[in-house]
Amino acid sequence: MAASDSDARRHAIVLAVWMLIARNGIEAVTFRRVAEQAGVSVGRIQHHFGTREALVRAACAAMIDFAHAEYQELPDDPAARLRHIMLHAIPDSPRKRFGASVWHAYLAKSVDDPEIARLLADTKRGVEDECARLIEQAGPPVPDPGARGARTVATGARTV
């Protein structure tokens, strides 16, 4: 089997895990249910992942990798990238609602799964570091010429 076929099957399996989590929570993830959802055999899932825990963790890591790859496609503009980071978690579309439901299930699972907790903590640190880098890269805010006038009007201060 070609690597791309294997990658496509692995992607279908991960997507099936996310769909099950979004609908019924992490506890609904079983090899049988994932196999049905992905249209593959239980043996194929066992071959790729070994255990249910490894499957759930791999799907969590894949979600993080997917978000990172999507982020890398953004323009190299600090303000746009910061805006993306800040607004990414607001579920304002069906796709984002789906992602948020799966992500929050992983957050809950991190309480009793040290590997998922580590993945999420590493991701959080990475996002914090990236925000700090972007803020530094953006430099100090450029004063808006209209802002001084608006502030003057709002506070009743005199202009000099």
Q: Give the separation between CA 106 and CA 100, rounded to whole angstroms.
A: 10
| Residue 150 placed within a domain | no
| Residue 155 placed within a domain | no
| Residue 18 placed within a domain | yes
| Residue 148 placed within a domain | no
**Range 139-147 contact pairs with CB under 8 angstroms and sequence separation of 24 or more:** none
DSSP per-residue codes, 35-51: HHHHTS-HHHHHHHHSS
| Residue 154 placed within a domain | no
CATH of the domain at 100: 1.10.357.10
For tokens 């019924």, the residue is 24
pLDDT in tens, 97-123: 999 999 999 999 999 999 999 999 999
Domain count, the chain: 1
| Residue 105 placed within a domain | yes
Domain that holds residue 28: 3-139
| Residue 37 placed within a domain | yes
pLDDT in tens, 14-66: 999 999 999 999 999 999 999 999 999 999 999 999 999 999 999 999 999 99
For tokens 């309480």, the residue is 111
- What sign has the CA pseudo-torsion 25, 30, 36, 38? positive
Structure confidence at residue 160 (pLDDT):
47
Q: Greatest CA separation found in the chain?
A: 78
| Residue 15 placed within a domain | yes
